[in-house]
Amino acid sequence: MNEPLVFLPGMMCDARLFLPQIAAFSKKVPILVMPLYGHDTIAGLARHILHLAPPKFSLAGLSMGGIVAMEIMRQMPQRVVRLALIDTNPMADATDRAAMRQKQIKQVQAGKLRSVMRDEMKPNYLAKGSERARILKLCMDMAEALGPAVFTEQSIALQYRRDQCETLKAINVPTDIMCGEDDRLCPVSRHEFMHDLIAGSTLSIIPGAGHLPTLEQPKITNRILEKWLRM
């Protein structure tokens, strides 16, 4: 549990996605949150993170961050001592999804980042709950802080990403697969599939959470991460 903990955020999110985890674990382990921009390929993002990261580290990625985490495991698995994949997807982008991303890129480049996030992305993020409005506002704040150029880079990287199912089969470090029970973007069935691919992994389904359990159900998420850090 002494190794640094590297968090990788989801698309158009920054370190604020993990504020409850930073508060809970920063007194126990060094924490780094790596931003996902500066490259328009998943492989390039992974190489950049590996360049910046400590020699050995625990790795937790949510959504796009999980996709980059899987690429890190493909490139240099020996650097990672334990892995948490949270509300993510090991498969390449589906044809219809890639086409939708291209449409969104054009809209965002035309100055419509806020409307794309508000109308097409944010409604799919969260389960119903008393904190929904606050978390959605935070999501919008993070997206607007990162801006259109990052949206474009990240969308292109996701459009052309590789399938990582073979990578998952080769993982041999302690791994927890986490998913919000009500995640509509990356459903529970996808995480059950990932769990089956990674020998010895654990599967954690988080009630009352959608795509962002780190913010929606931080206490439950932190309990799961606490156990994971002791694996």
Say how many domains are in the chain.
1
pLDDT value at residue 175: 98
CB-based contacts of 91: which residues, under 8 Å, 6+ apart?
163, 164, 165
pLDDT value at residue 38: 96
Distance set, CA 63 to CA 114, 183, 210 (Å) = 20, 11, 12
pLDDT value at residue 125: 84
**Which 3 state secondary structure label does DSSP give 62?**
strand
31-33/80-86 β-pairing: unpaired
Contact 116, 107 (CB under 8 A): yes
Q: What is the pLDDT along the chain (231 residues), one digit of tens a residue?
A: 689 999 999 999 999 999 999 999 999 999 999 999 999 999 999 999 999 999 999 999 999 999 999 999 999 999 999 999 999 999 999 899 888 999 999 999 999 999 999 887 777 789 988 999 999 999 999 999 999 999 999 999 999 999 999 999 999 999 999 999 999 999 999 999 999 999 999 999 999 999 999 999 999 999 999 999 999
Is 2 exposed, middle or buried (CB count within 10 Å of its CB: 0-12, 13-18, 19+)?
A: exposed
What CATH number corresponds to the domain at position 107?
3.40.50.1820
**In terms of residue numbers, what domain contains 79?**
1-231
pLDDT value at residue 47: 98
pLDDT value at residue 229: 96
pLDDT value at residue 1: 63
